[in-house]
Each structure stands twice: as structure tokens, then as C-alpha cells.
Structure 1
Amino acid sequence: MLKLIVSLKLPLIISANLMVLAFFVSHCNNITGSTFDSAYVDYDYQRTGYKFYEPAKQMELHNDLVEISGLGVVDDNTLAAVEDETGHVYLLSTEDGSVLRKIKFGKQGDYEGVELIGDDVYVLKSNGTLYSFKLTRQDEVEAREIETVFSSKNDLEGLGHDGQSLLIACKASGNIDGNKVKGKAVYRYYIPGSKLITKEVVDIEKDQLSAFVNDRSYFNEIRQFDPSAIAKHPISKDIYILSADHILVILSADYQLKEVVKLDKNIYKQPEGISFASDGTMYISNEGKGGKATLVKLLYNNIKK
């Protein structure tokens, strides 16, 4: 009888062990080769359609882009990037991250964001100055300089677009022109009429984010939130706000808090840029931090919500 019991239990034990092994294998990062920290999967995948812990591809970028600070989409095959030292816009291949072209538009400066609307290129400086030029075949252009009421105290890093307007995210103070906010602010700049709306589109407080994740098992605290990039999703119309502190905040189309994700620092060394292709494919750029800058590609699963 004892032998029979042992023989019956043995297959069950082996089966259970195989199930545990399968779980860890399936949760192995193909890029880093390490198992996932539970905090990186502690979000609602159904709300996003992205496996941030399992990107489709990670590409190393040219040495000129070690300080990459902003990312935009030219078309589904080409990205635009800026780095925060020289006045160049780089056109990158979405296939391998290689530099296709390098366009000189200005002097050295702290450039933090780039966005395209049609063939119009917009570049954001950290003090709030915007630069605009047409994307042509020329490798050196004369950009139009657009002054705003922002200043260096706002430390602007995020530039996205929503229709015919630009979305501008403050990394530091969100106070401008008499308008005071408690958290991190996003403002809207209307291209027709060249008008900045001095009332924030949204104001995000760290305590608000902490309350959102408070009941989670593994990722339940926000230590810092300093916006470094912003982009609007082409399909869901959600607003994605990236923080170099390895936090991604997702707002609904009406700017309500929808999801907060902790990013794996082994994949996203210092996330500084975010953009989307028309099919929802996401690209996140990361500064080098002593090594190569990278471009991370994430595929979109268009879940019907």
C-alpha cells in the first residue's frame, strides 16, 4: 500500500514542479535574461495592451545620441530624436535605430522634446522656447524661434501633440503667468494662432499616484514623479506621461488617471522619450547613463475595453 501511495504522489509532485518551472520560464525577460520583479507586472494589462516587462526589441543607438532626450514619429518607419546638447534633429530607422539623417536647426542648447505635425517639426527647449521648421531634404535649416511664458524654473521636458495643438509637460514647477498648481502640470499650445493656454490641461500630484497604487501587492508606492516625455496614443487616445524615475502614467482621453506602471530599470535605463506608430507600436528612448542609449519597441495588443 505504501508503495502504491508513493507511486501515485510522484507524478503529481513532478507535474507541480514542471508547472512552477514553466511559470518562471514564461516570465523570463528575453533581453536581460532575468526573471521579472513582481513590481514590473503589478498593473492591469487589460488597460494598456502592452507588456512593458517584455518588449519586442531593444536597440542600441549611435554615440551621438547618448543624451537622447526626446522622441517623435515621422512615419511608421522613421522616428525623430533630439539630444540635450546640440541643435540637431536625428531621423532614426524603426527597424534597427540607425541614424538615417541628421538635421542642424540651431545652436547648442538644452533641447528636451521633438514632435511632428505633418511635415512641421517642433523642438522644445527646457526653458520653454519652441523651434519650428519644415522637414525637407535639407540637412541644415533655419528654424523659427517661438517664445513662451515658460522659464527655466519649469524645466520643460515633455512635448507631444493632440490634433493641431502641442502638449507641454513640466518636470519642475508648473506655475506660469499667475497660474499656480500643486503637482506636475501639462499645458496646451495651439498652433493655429500661436497661443499658449495658461490654464493647465491636467495637474498630477505624487500623492494622487500613490493613492492609485496603494492597494497593490508589489508596486504600491510612488517615490518620485518627474515628467520627461508625453505622447497621445493614436488608437485609444490615452495620454502617456513618462518619468525618468521609471514610472509611466496613463491618462484617459479626458485626462482621468487610468493606470500607473513601474518600468524595469534593466530595460529602461533612463526613459526620456516616448512615441507611437499608427498601429499603436510604442517606442521609448533611454539615455545611456555611462553606456549606449537605447530604443525600446513594444507591440500593442488592441484589447477591446
Structure 2
Amino acid sequence: MNKIVVVITIGILAIVAIVYFTLDFPFNMDRGDFTEEYKIEERWDLPNRLEEISGMDFVDEDRMAAVQDEEGIIFIYNLSSKEIEQEIEFGKSGDYEGLAIVGKDAFVMRSDGVLFEIQNYLSDKPLVTQHETFIKAKHNAEGLCADLKNNRLLVAVKDRDPVNNDTKGIYAFDLETKQLQEKPVFAIQLDDEIFTNVKTKNKLRVMMPSEVNIHPETGEIYVLDAKNPKLLILTPTGETKKVYLLKEDKFYQPEGIAFRKNGSLFISNEGHSDPANILKVELQ
């Protein structure tokens, strides 16, 4: 009997150790006290229907297109009226993580690397096409944005990189060939000195991109991390420039980034004890 108890005890301790070292617990990062280098200018508390907003992009100055984690629907949310104006179905239930608008078309990224192209997405009968990529569920694609200057989309992986375990890659989907290029256009080095204050049990947790977008005026690349809330800024050529640590009481789970044409920054947060929200943020 004692041997059985010992075996069970060892098994339980092993499971606890595996969970501790592999799962995305917030205590994996030693954040400490830090000064908030940003100001929240406006806040929109979202309706329950948008409790898990995971990707967004501007339709125009007032309207935001957004997707949720589990529904194959694009929601059109009006920032002025604070209401959902339209719902556009494009697929079955799934883990949808990123959204990008290119003219009259919308693109939605599923976490397993399948990209949905919704042509004439605001029309009564949008045409939906699926594009397979080499990104798989284990890589967990979460970030998606339009890079119109280069006629491509940018795709960021959250978990294990398909090419290099020492980096988190940002890949380009060519809008002409409709193919995802196998070599990343940007690679975030997980041992970069900019992450000196980020202490984790697993190096893959140093940066876990939940969204990516391009500043319309500077061309800088903004990469969001929802698990250990922070915002990384890369230069237009991909060098690390600045990292902003985000207070969890204001950014519980930041999942989406969108810019107005004038460069105003908007960040969405999934709901928790408080409603999901969209924040207009000024970086300092």
C-alpha cells in the first residue's frame, strides 16, 4: 500500500511540475513595479456579444470590424453609437484570432493557420475562400494585419515558431500569389536585451504575440502580448525599439490593435470581471 501511495504522490508532483513549467500562468513573468508610460484617453465597454474580441480593424473613422475567439462572424461596431451595426457570417465555430481589412475585402486568421478571405465583406452575399498555410495549431497564429505598402498581410505566431525556436517570427502572406512565405520578414529574438526584465520559466514565454499592426505614419511594427501584457515596438526594418509593460488592471488580456489614419492607437481587451473593452491609448 505504501508503495502505491508513493507512486501516486510522485505522479501528482510530476504533473504539477509539468503544469508549472509549461502553462501560461501570469506569475511566470517577474514584472515588479513599473511606471505606466501611456495614457488611456477613452474607453468603450463592449456588449456581451463581444466578450472575447480577439482581432479588429477600422472600417472607417467611426466603425470597427472585429472577430471573436469562437464565432465565424465579423462584427461591425460603431464607436460613436456604441452599438453593433452588422454581423457578417463567414465560417463555422473556431478559434479566430486576427482580422485585417484590405479595401472591400476582409481577412480572418484562425489559430491553426487557415486564412479566410471574405470578398466584399460588407455586401449581402460575401464570397469566402480559405487559404491553407504551413502554420499549424501548435504554432498558434494570433496576429494579423494588412501591410498595404508591400501588398501583403503580416502574420504573427504566438507559441512555437515554425522555423526557429529562439525567435517569434512575423510572416508575410502575399496578396497576389495568396501564399505565405516560408521565411519570416521579421524575427523577434527571445534573448534580446530589451526583454531583460522579463523573467520566465520557459524562453518561449518571453514574447507571445497576440496581435501585430503597422503604424500608418511611422511604419513601425506594433506587437502585442496578451499573456504577460506588454506592447513591443519594432522599427520598420524589424529592430527592437521599445517595450511598454501594461498594467493588468487596465489591460487584462489585450488581444487587438487598430490604428486610425492619423495614428491614434486602439487596443482591445477580452472581458473578465469587467466587460470587454476598447481603449484609445496615447503612448508617452
Q: Taking structure 2 as the reference length, what is the TM-score of the superposition?
A: 0.81
Aligned equivalents of 1:67, 1:104: Cα separation in 2: 17
Determine which of 168, 182, 191 is the counterpart of 1:184.
168
Q: Does 1:201 align with 2:185?
A: yes
CA contact (8 A) 1:40 1:264 kept: no
Q: Does 1:120 align with 2:123?
A: no
Corresponding pairs, count: 245
Q: Which residue of 2 aligns with 1:254?
A: 237
Q: Which residue of 1 aligns with 2:198?
A: 221
CA contact (8 A) 1:72 1:81 kept: yes
Deviation of 1:295 (Å): 0.4
Amino acid at match of 1:252: T
Deviation of 1:40 (Å): 3.5
Which protein shows a greater Rg?
Answer: 1
Aligned equivalents of 1:228, 1:221: Cα separation in 2: 17
Gap regions ≥5 residues in structure 2? 1-31, 201-205
Q: Deviations over 1:256-291 (max 9, x none)?
A: 111011011111110000010000111100000244
Q: Percent identity?
A: 32
Give 1:1-305 correspondences, 5 Å limit.
39-41=34-36, 52=38, 54-95=39-80, 97-138=82-123, 141-163=126-148, 164-175=151-162, 179-208=163-192, 211-212=193-194, 214=196, 220-223=197-200, 224-244=206-226, 245-299=228-282
Aligned equivalents of 1:75, 1:247: Cα separation in 2: 27
Gap regions ≥5 residues in structure 1? 1-36, 42-50, 215-219
> Quick check: which one's strand share is greater?
2
- CA RMSD, 1 decimal: 2.0
Q: Taking structure 1 as the reference length, what is the TM-score of the superposition?
A: 0.75
Aligned equivalents of 2:124, 2:283: Cα separation in 1: 33
Q: Which residue of 2 aligns with 1:15?
A: none
Amino acid at match of 2:240: L
Aligned equivalents of 2:86, 2:165: Cα separation in 1: 40
Which segments of structure 1 move beyond 4 Å, counting only runs of 4 or more? none
Q: Which residue of 2 aligns with 1:22?
A: none
CA contact (8 A) 1:285 1:296 kept: yes
Amino acid at match of 1:204: I
Q: Deviations over 1:73-120 (max 9, x none)?
A: 212221111001111001112336431211111111110000001111
